[in-house]
A and B are shown apart, each in its own frame.
Chain A
Amino acid sequence: MMCVWSHRPRLLHLGLFTAAYILGCGFAQSLAIVPGTGISIWPPSGLFIATLVLARRPSWPWWMLAGCLAEMFSNFLWFHSPVPAAFLIYTGNALEAAAGAWLVNGTLRRPVRLETLGEVLAFIVLGAGIAPIVSATVGSATLAWFGMQAQTFTGAWPLWWIGDATGVLIVAPLALVVFQNWCGTAQLSTARWIEACVLGLIFLGVAALSLSGYLPFAYIIMPPLLWAAVRFEFKGAAIALTLLALITAVFTISGASQFAGDPESQRDRQVMLQLFLAISAFSALIVAAISRQHQLALATLRRSERELSLLVDAVPVAIACLAPDGEPTFFNRRLIDLLGLNVTDLDKPGTSRRAADIASALHPDDAAGFAEALSHSLATGEPFFRKHRLRCANGEYRWVEGRIEPLLNQDGAVLQWYGVSIDIDDQMRLYSDVAEREAKIRRLVDSDIIGIVIWDLDGRLLEANDAFLRMVQYEREDLQAGLRWFDMTPPEWQEVHTRNEAEELRTTGKMQAREKEFFRKNGSRVPVLIGAACFEGQSRQGVAYILDLTERKRAEAAQMRAEEALRRAQDKLARASQAASLSELTASIAHEVNQPLAAIVANSHACGRWLSAEPPNVERAKITAGRIIRDANSAAEVISQIRARFRQSVEARTGTTLSSVIAEARNLMAEEAAQHRICINIDIENDLPLVAFDHDQIQQVLVNLIRNGMEAMASAAGSRALEVRVRRKGDAVQTEISDCGRGVETPDKIFEPFFTTKEHGRGMGLTISRSIVESHGGRLWAEKHEPYGATFIFTLPVEVKTTS
């Protein structure tokens, strides 16, 4: 009960409903002109069904109550039936409305708008055909039971049914329109309003004409009625039907219409009237529904067309339509923007659109192939697919992927070609960039100059090129089996590897190139230079570059060995040249002087012969004499060079100490001394003053004296020790070289040139040594060494410090 109460419609609505119901009853009463029947068009049935169709079901009791009150009131005013009969009749009407609404609501989509033909037909059949059966049955039974107006059940039933049906057909649409557009504002243009007014006038005029004469004339109203239905659809039909019903009623009541007549024929005319109204309503509603449906379809089509057109222009693809012969007929917005021209721009005299399109829009290199492929597709009907370059509006060429597909009819003939061009320029650029880069990388990896390895931070080698595998002599299968850096790292590198290198990679993303070693598969070691870097954005993996240093290391070692050998050879050479004895020196000097002398002698003889010849050959003699002079000068030059060599040169005097020169001389003679099993003892006084001397010359003197001493001892028995003593004596530093040999028999002669006691000597050594020492401002002499042997002594003056 509470439920029903809470669904009470607004009182205003209930009131209006009640008023309209009573009005409908009045209208029916006024039309019930058939004597003795009281049955006529029953508008409340339409109102009731329309109301219940739109109302929610819980509120139905309220409407039924209102309807009951209205009908009882109308009965009180006009029908004057007994209250039980009136109530029964009302019950029939309420049942009819409930059944109709129930059937309509159950069949049609809510809210009921009657916009399609199906809906209208369903409404007509269910609401106007089936529902009135209930009220007609109940009402006719009631009339017959109460014996009112002398009606039989069968006599009253058809009238009752058709009256209710007509009421539903005429009033229900109007009611639906009124209910649903109660608050809506009509949105009609001025032209429509004018059309509506003109139509209304025509309708009224035709109605006035048609309803005032012969029965079939009444149907002249049909064209305006259908016009209203077509142009204004359901609303127009509803209003026109209402007007028609009212006009018909007015004319019939006033007796001016063909439906009014004498009482005998009144019953048939009443049926005719109701049929006329029912047919009109039926036709108008059907036409309105068809019109509505058509309009809806048109609107839908327009909308989808607009959407399609928007879609075609919005898709990021250039679209073209071609006629079956390949002539372009349509370009979409994107294609127009891309090419900077529309289909119509291709119309040029003397050439087809297709040729003009190919000529203006394609890259010259692609045009021929494109035209050929297109011709092939057009001839065979096969789809066309090609990548080519299109010339853009700005003159640039862009790569596009072009597809042209045929639209076929049922016979398989081409109706139209649809072409799309997808811009793949960026893709193509990207592809070519990527391909180029890939090729570069591939070249780098395959170049086999350096080893390249892709690794991950777990220390696994994921990929390696042949150069690397060759370097470490592993196979590709080892790599696939999960080779790790750690396995290849010698123990002393392992800690560095696991700690420093991994850390460096983690923090900086790369590993500076460094030299290290790896184990080869066979356990031998390979020295390498390795650098690595993580891949950007994917720090778990990276690349390493490895250079085999074996050859370089070998070359370095070889170079070091060669350098060492060279150094030793140089040392040896230096020692040999420094140790060259003065006798060898003299031999070479002799040779240098002897050659020009020999030439001079020979030339002199020749010269003499030329002059003493008969007659004397003076020319040849002159030439020969010239040669004599030249060769003599050459000999003199040799002599002066030798002089220059032993001349005291201040510049050449070095700051070397005497003790270091002595040490050098001892080292130079060490080998010879060892051969002769002679020991050289050196005794140098501390704090010797500086002496100025020519390093090479004094070394020569020392070597000469030491060798003399050693040679003296070589043939003698007894002690084999050579003493070298250096001490200060006044303003000079004195160096003594003592041997234990045979001694010097003729101390005065030994310094003379060419005096020698040796088997192979030339007698120059001591002479030159003395001249060297004397050129330094010192003296060289020999003394007897006790108990045997000789001592050679030379002095060098202490340097006088003139400047400091």
Chain B
Amino acid sequence: MTMDDHIVFIVDDDARIREALSELLASHDMRAIAFGSAGDYISADKPDLPACLVLDVELPDINGLDLQRQIAEGDHPPIVFLTGHGDIPSSVRAIKRGAVDFLTKPFSDTDLMTAIRTAIAQDQEKRSERAELRVLRLRYLGLTPREREVLPLVVSGLLNKQAAAELGISEVTLQIHRRNVMQKMAAASLADLVRIAERLEIPIRHSRRAEGS
């Protein structure tokens, strides 16, 4: 992990905490940007990198938990909560909503760094998944309308003959379409294509079993 491939956002109203956290992260060779309030954080121009948000629960403008709920819709970095006096219900609530950890001040170096590293790793994974999906979507967009009709039939396990009958085309034509789909979607095998279709959430409308019965 180097300085340039990640970023840690710190949101805490206490300047001493912001300072100490930045220092601690710097000593761990990690890059950090600190904000005094949730408003500052939201309106700031943030670098597009794998990130982690270290969020104080007791903020002057908004409760940290409420901020978590507000930004839940968008692609936001995983959150590590800090609190002066943690109570069990709020920590449970935070974790349920996807927080990486819920630390009580004063927190230990190890706990915090573990949580931050976990969070950044999560974000990296999430980001790469998102990137892969984006590629698959682009490939899917490259299919012709007929190929898009062929794809769900193929991945649902229909035989070529069945699929051709379904579309009212010849088996040979279907095979050509199928080969083109495999090529365009960069699927190494039918199993690979099935996995890709799953990721793209392409509905499967037919099954051999249904056909057989």
Residues of A bordering B, CB below 8 Å: 587, 590-591, 594-603, 605-610, 613, 617, 620, 623-624, 627, 631, 634
Contacts and interface: CB of A to CB of B under 8 A. Distances in A.
Contacts, number: 80
B23 A595 contact: no
Give the secondary structure class of A's interface. Answer: helix
A607 B23 CA distance: 9
A549 to B, nearest CB: 46
A152 B199 CA distance: 192
A602 B25 CA distance: 9
B166 interface: no
A601 B105 CA distance: 9
A602 B84 contact: no
B26 A606 contact: yes
Contacts of A631: 16, 20
A610 B27 contact: yes
Contacts of A608: 109
Contacts of A605: 24, 27, 108-109
Contacts of A587: 85
Given A597-B106, A598-B17, A602-B107, A627 B84 contact: no
Nearest to A628: B20
Contacts of A594: 84-85, 105-106
A606 B17 contact: no
A598 B85 contact: no
B84 A599 contact: no
28 contacts: A587-B85, A591-B58, A591-B84, A594-B84, A594-B105, A594-B106, A595-B16, A595-B105, A598-B105, A599-B14, A599-B16, A599-B17, A600-B106, A601-B108, A601-B109, A602-B23, A605-B27, A606-B24, A606-B26, A609-B24, A609-B109, A610-B27, A613-B27, A617-B27, A620-B26, A624-B23, A624-B27, A627-B23
Contacts of B27: 605-607, 609-610, 613, 617, 620, 624
B23 A598 contact: no
Interface in B1-58: 14, 16-17, 19-21, 23-24, 26-28, 58
Given A590-B84, A602-B106, A602-B109, A596 B16 contact: yes
Pick the 6 closest A-B CB pairs, nearest first: A605-B109, A598-B105, A609-B27, A602-B20, A601-B106, A598-B106
A602 B105 CA distance: 10
A601 B23 CA distance: 12
Contact of B107 (A590, A598, A610, A623): A598
A595 B26 contact: no
Contacts of B23: 602-603, 606, 620, 623-624, 627
Residue of A591, A599, A601, A602 most packed against chain B (CB within 10 A):
A602
A66 B105 CA distance: 170
B21 A602 contact: yes
A620 B28 CA distance: 13
Interface residues of B, number: 21
Contact of B24 (A591, A597, A603): A603
Contacts of B85: 587, 590-591, 594
Given A598-B105, A627-B23, 9 more contacts: A590-B85, A599-B19, A602-B24, A603-B20, A606-B20, A606-B23, A608-B109, A620-B27, A623-B23
Given A603-B20, A631-B16, A634-B16, A609 B105 contact: no
B20 A599 contact: yes
Nearest to A630: B16
A606 B109 CA distance: 8
A596 B15 CA distance: 10
A617 B28 CA distance: 12
Contacts of A596: 16
Indicate the member of A595, A624, A627 with the most B CB atoms within 10 Å. Answer: A595
Residue of A591, A603, A605, A627 with highest tally of chain B CB at under 10 A:
A605
Contacts of A610: 27
A212 B170 CA distance: 197
Nearest to B113: A605
A601 B16 CA distance: 11
Contacts of B107: 598, 601-602
B32 to A, nearest CB: 12
Contacts of A598: 17, 20, 82, 84, 105-107
A108 B159 CA distance: 173
Contacts of A634: 16
B20 A627 contact: yes
Nearest to A595: B14
Contacts of B17: 595, 598-599, 602
A605 B85 CA distance: 21
Contacts of A591: 58, 84-85
Contacts of B84: 590-591, 594-595, 598
Contacts of B21: 602
Taking each of B21, B23, B82, B105, which has the highest tally of chain A beta carbons within 10 Å of its own beta carbon?
B23
Contacts of B16: 595-596, 599, 627, 631, 634
